[in-house]
Amino acid sequence: MTTGTDRRDIEDRADCERLVRAFYSRALVDPMIGWIFVDVARLDLEEHVPVIASFWETMLLGARTYSGGVFGPHAALHARAPLRSGHFERWLVLWRTAVDELFAGERAELAKAHAVRVGRAFHDRLQGGAPAAAGDTLTAGLVVSQHGPPQRRSA
């Protein structure tokens, strides 16, 4: 485990993969959401990690290595086992914990902020919000944007 003094920001794909693996090391055994990954999704971690690392590499580093549909797999999962707000909240707690344990900086904060936006958008759509678009892509139904630290206004 890193300490507050030796954490650095997310800088490359290896960092994205490290973060994803740290998250799943908790999520797969979590009493609230672990069963979703293990029993319902039957997640193959070695197959899944590179895909999700590409998603975060695209979101945080602008690498454009992810081109899959981000919502569709979650909608299919929801059809088999309804995903509730508590599941999303727990996912966010585990994600933030992994980010804060490993990284500090602008991209680390972006990783947490983007997770909140994605989680909220997924939850809203799954609970009857906007219908999934045919051929759902990374941006279908979501506004994907990059955000940095707040800009200071001069008086």
Tell me which fold the domain 13-126 belongs to: Globin-like (1.10.490)
10-residue mean pLDDT series, the chain (155 residues): 74 98 97 96 95 95 88 91 94 98 98 95 84 37 38 44
Alpha carbon distance 141, 144 (integer Å) = 9
* Domain-wise residue ranges, the chain: 13-126
Residue 140 CA to chain centroid, in angstroms? 16
Residues 13 and 53 sit within 8 Å (Cβ to Cβ):
yes
pLDDT in tens, 67-112: 888 888 889 999 999 999 999 999 999 999 999 999 999 999 999 9
Q: How many CA atoms lie within 13 A of 75 on its CB side?
A: 18
